Amino acid sequence: MKQRFKILTYILGIAVMCVFSACSLTGKDNNGKEDNVANAAVKAEKPAKVEIKSIDTKSEKVTIKWKEVSGADGYEVYRSDGKGKSYKSIKCTSDITYTDSDVKERNEYSYQVTAYKFTHEDGSVLKEGDVSISAEGDIESEKDTSKKVKLYGNNSAKKAVYVRPKKAVRVIAGECFVEGLDGYASGELKGFKFVHTVGVNTYTMIHSNSISYNGTLVTPLERICYYKPDRVYFLVGMNESGNGISDGAVANIKKMCKNIRKINPHAEIVLLPVAPCGRHSSANVPSLSKRLSFNKGYKKFTETKDYLYYYDYTPVLDDGQGYLKKSCDGGDGCHWTVSATVSVAKAIKKYDKKNF
């Protein structure tokens, strides 16, 4: 009898378990009613924050690229048209790049990008295949016609960019080598402005009234500023590099940069190193070690600000051992031949085209 009771109890327990399992699988309770817990809508999680990879300007256009966000249906691009101005939506897209052509030269813009995904109006997750997304980041077609909304992630970091003018003003300023570029190679550097004085150094560029302008004498720095330049190349230093120490020259260039950027806050400055000299020179030129030490200081200085650049054009003149090639020597171990001057101009032109 006891044995039969145990068997019946065991069978009854199994039956009860089956009933509960069935309720769990069907989403109904033991009274046949819908189980709200089992059928509760799954809330969608907002997309991750967008990371902008790059932002570039060219030909009066701004191109923004960002990393793909997993699970995002699209991205919304926002733009501010200047410091202190609010951000406004300018584009929705399913792509991870956008080119803004509605910009004006010599203006600064700032951008943000936000990822989004579509959900039901109550914020619940859409089923896979419920909708398809167009290139514009919108719903192209849908199986489920219930109302959909966008769930946004956090805004990306702000990225500012300055739109350079198509006809940017470029100036090359400095000592006698600039005079040579002006006289013999200006055809290679069409559109460039030249400011030069023989024997000038970084100090006299600031303080010496050595250039005639509109019937009066002005300093080389003042003449540069009158051009309102977008980029200035400085080729100066030969006359002060004899001790190998560039501290004084760097201090003077800092002052010149400050003045130039008062005229144009977006002006870029490129330092060109002191050129190689002949092994035997009749001119007052620095030794190889002093020249290299001086140029090292120049290069280090350009790493301190994002508007400063250093371009080493000297390989076109260097004999491979740090001295001026015989074929480039104008005769005194310092000045260049016409063909060497043209080669330097071509190198600068190539660099400028690639980097500006």
Kindly state whether residue 39 falls inside one of the protein's structural domains. Answer: no
Closest CA to 314 of 354, 348, 275: 275
**Domain boundary at 141, 162, 183, which?**
162
Q: Do 182 and 248 lie in a common domain?
A: yes
In 10 A of CB 287, how many CB atoms? 12
Tens-place pLDDT, residues 103-112:
999 999 999 9
pLDDT > 70 fraction of the chain, expressed in percent and rounded:
88
Contact (Cβ atoms closer than 8 angstroms) between residue 246 and residue 297: yes
Report helix, strand or coil for 352. Answer: helix
Q: Do 215 and 348 lie in a common domain?
A: yes
Residue type, 244: G
Kindly state whether residue 261 falls inside one of the protein's structural domains. Answer: yes
**What is the C-alpha to C-alpha distance for residues 158 and 153, in angstroms, rounded to an integer?**
15
Q: Scan for tokens 């560029």, then name that residue.
A: 205
Q: Do 74 and 175 lie in a common domain?
A: no
Q: Do 58 and 189 lie in a common domain?
A: no
Give the pair of three-digit tokens for residue 60. Answer: 């009066």
Q: Do 176 and 275 lie in a common domain?
A: yes
**Domain boundary at 162, 190, 209, which?**
162
| CATH code, domain with 83 | 2.60.40.10
Tens-place pLDDT, residues 41-71:
688 899 999 999 999 988 789 999 999 999 9
State the pLDDT at residue 84. 82
Q: Scan for tokens 């997309």, then name that residue.
A: 47
Tens-place pLDDT, residues 260-272:
999 999 999 999 9
Higher-confidence residue of 143 and 106: namely 106
Q: How many CA atoms lie within 13 A of 223 on its CB side?
A: 25
Termini Cα distance of the chain? 99
**What is the C-alpha to C-alpha distance for residues 349 and 185, in angstroms, rounded to an integer?**
11
**What is the C-alpha to C-alpha distance for residues 292 and 30, in angstroms, rounded to an integer?**
89
Question: What does residue 140 show for φ and ψ, rounded to 5 degrees?
Answer: -90, -40
Q: Do 209 and 328 lie in a common domain?
A: yes
Tens-place pLDDT, residues 295-352:
999 999 999 999 999 999 999 999 999 999 999 999 999 999 999 999 999 999 999 9
Kindly state whether residue 45 falls inside one of the protein's structural domains. Answer: no
Question: What does residue 351 show for φ and ψ, rounded to 5 degrees?
Answer: -65, -45
State the pLDDT at residue 26. 46
Q: Do 237 and 126 lie in a common domain?
A: no
Tens-place pLDDT, residues 89-128:
999 999 999 999 999 999 999 999 999 999 988 888 887 7
| CATH code, domain with 266 | 3.40.50.1110
Kindly state whether residue 47 falls inside one of the protein's structural domains. Answer: no
Q: Do 349 and 222 lie in a common domain?
A: yes
For residue 9, the enclosing domain spans 1-30
Kindly state whether residue 46 falls inside one of the protein's structural domains. Answer: no
Beta bridge partners of residue 114, listed in sequence order: 76
Q: Do 61 and 157 lie in a common domain?
A: yes
Kindly state whether residue 145 falls inside one of the protein's structural domains. Answer: yes
Report helix, strand or coil for 114. Answer: strand
Beta bridge partners of residue 97, listed in sequence order: 65
Taking all residues of the chain, what is their mean pLDDT, rounded to a whole number? 89
Contact (Cβ atoms closer than 8 angstroms) between residue 176 and residue 334: no
Q: Do 178 and 308 lie in a common domain?
A: yes
Q: What's the pLDDT band for 23 if we cut at 50, 70, 90?
A: very low
**What is the C-alpha to C-alpha distance for residues 355 and 350, in angstroms, rounded to an integer?**
9
Kindly state whether residue 38 falls inside one of the protein's structural domains. Answer: no
**What is the C-alpha to C-alpha distance for residues 294 and 285, in angstroms, rounded to an integer?**
12
State the pLDDT at residue 121. 87
Q: Do 19 and 82 lie in a common domain?
A: no
Question: What does residue 24 show for φ and ψ, rounded to 5 degrees?
Answer: -65, -40
State the pLDDT at residue 9. 52
Kindly state whether residue 36 falls inside one of the protein's structural domains. Answer: no
Residue type, 100: D
**What is the C-alpha to C-alpha distance for residues 98 and 86, in angstroms, rounded to an integer?**
20
C-alpha angle 102-107-108 in degrees, rounded to nearest 5 = 95
Higher-confidence residue of 36 and 99: namely 99
Closest CA to 192 of 211, 176, 212, 169: 169
**Domain boundary at 140, 162, 184, which?**
162
The number of folded domains in the chain is 3
Give the pair of three-digit tokens for residue 283. Answer: 């001119």
Q: Do 202 and 288 lie in a common domain?
A: yes
Per DSSP, the residues of 213-265 read ETTEEE-HHHHHHHT--SEEEEE--GGG-TTS--HHHHHHHHHHHHHHHHH-T
**What is the C-alpha to C-alpha distance for residues 142 and 144, in angstroms, rounded to an integer?**
5
How far from the centroid of its chain's Cα atoms is residue 84's Cα?
Answer: 21
